[in-house]
Structure 1
Amino acid sequence: MRLHLSHSFLICLLLAGPAQAGDPERGRELHRENCINCHASMKSGIYGEDGTGIYVRENRRIETLEALYTQVRRCKTSLGAPWPESQIEDVVNYLNQNFYKFEE
Structure 2
Amino acid sequence: MLRHNAITGLFLFLLAATAWAGDPEQGRELHQENCIQCHAAMKDGIYGHDGTGIYTRENRRIESLAALYKQVRRCKTSLGVSWPENQIEDVVTYLNQNFYKFEE
TM-score by length of 1: 0.80
TM-score by length of 2: 0.80
Corresponding position of 1:26: 26
Corresponding position of 1:58: 58
Corresponding position of 2:8: none
Gaps of 5+ in 2: 1-18
Change (3 A) 1:28 1:92: same
Greater C-alpha radius of gyration: 2
Corresponding position of 1:35: 35
| Partner AA of 1:28 in structure 2 | R
Corresponding residue SS for 1:103: coil
Aligned length: 86
RMSD, matched Cα = 1.2
| Partner AA of 2:60 in structure 1 | R
For 1:74 and 1:34, the matched residues in 2 are separated by 13
Corresponding position of 2:74: 74
Gaps of 5+ in 1: 1-18
- Runs of 4+ displaced beyond 6 Å: none
Corresponding residue SS for 1:35: helix
Deviation track 1:29-63 (CA, whole Å, cap 9, x = no partner) reads 00000011100100111111111000000000000
Corresponding position of 2:93: 93
For 2:61 and 2:20, the matched residues in 1 are separated by 20
Corresponding position of 2:6: none
For 1:62 and 1:77, the matched residues in 2 are separated by 18
